[in-house]
Amino acid sequence: MRPATIGRDPASSGRQDPVRCPLFAQLMASLESLGRPHVIDLGPAGHALLERLAPMHARLQIVDLPYALAQWQPDPEDVHPQRWFVDWLMPPGPRPADAILAWDLPNYLPLEITAALMHALAARCRKGALVHLLATYAHPDMPAAPGRYSPVGEDALRNESGTAPRITAPRYTSTALDEAFVDLRPERAVLLKNGMQEMTFRVA
């Protein structure tokens, strides 16, 4: 899965300008065609996303993964902690999810943890559901904390986070993610203007 390139400008610090994200736009269009889609948002609640989904009468399940991970106390004897984490965090709903918005959170977890979480989350999705994520790709460092992303217009996202210290980025390749996500199949990848790689996967 080789990314197409859209622009080459480096990311700015602080609150950033909106960046065109064509795969996010395609995901929103696909949800509009479903009618009352179910979306799992792994980030914190955001007013702009709620407004974007409101005309679809979507069911939005907000996870706020960074906060949840900080609060969770796993059983040290549990051999499948990620599965029980998802069960604790998200009791099964009346219908499977149509999409997962992972934002840039996979950059902040070890790849094996992200893969285990995606495995557990895929079980909550219908076959063919889309997973959307943003991977730090073109730059060797990244903000020390995950971003807070808001839709802007029909095809752009803005990181609302302020200036933060920088840390080394894992720079996961699409090949590494393809191999780690055993329940997902790669869909598309695009290199964005801010140096991040936008990717979508489908639940197999």
Q: How far apart are CA 124 and CA 130, in angstroms?
A: 12
State the pLDDT at residue 81.
58
Please give the average per-residue pLDDT across 6-16, as a whole number: 45
CA 108 – CA 105 distance, rounded (Å): 6
Phi, then psi, of 190 in degrees rounded to 5:
-135, 130
Q: What is the pLDDT of residue 102?
A: 97
Residue 22 has pLDDT above 90, yes or no: yes
Triad 180, 182, 183: Cα angle to 5°: 135
Q: Work out the average pLDDT over 2-21.
A: 56
The predicted-structure confidence for 81-95, as pLDDT tens digits, reads as follows 566 667 767 767 778
Whether 7 shows a pLDDT value over 60: the answer reads no
Q: Which helix (H) or strand (E) holds 203?
A: strand 196-203
Sketch out the chain's domains with CATH numbers: 4-203 (3.40.50)
- The percentage of the chain sitting over the pLDDT mark of 70, rounded to a whole number, equals 84
Residue linked to tokens 């977890």: 109
The span from the CA of 37 to the CA of 15, in Å, is: 30
| Per-residue pLDDT at 183 exceeds 90 | yes
Say whether pLDDT at 4 is over 50: no
pLDDT band for position 2 (cuts 50, 70, 90):
very low
Please write the tens of the pLDDT for every residue from 77-126.
655 556 666 776 776 777 899 999 999 999 998 898 899 889 889 999 99
C-alpha span between 52 and 160 (Å, rounded): 16
Per residue in 29-75, pLDDT (tens digit) is: 999 999 899 999 999 999 999 999 999 999 999 988 888 777 766 56
CB atoms within 10 A of CB 166: 13
DSSP code string of 27-43: HHHHHHTTSS-EEEE-S
Examine the pLDDT at 143 and tell me if it is beyond 70: yes
What average pLDDT does this structure show over 125-144? Answer: 96
pLDDT of residue 78: 58
**Angstrom distance (rounded) from CA 90 to CA 87:** 5
List pLDDT tens digits, range 156-166.
999 998 777 99
Residue 140 structure tokens: 């060797």
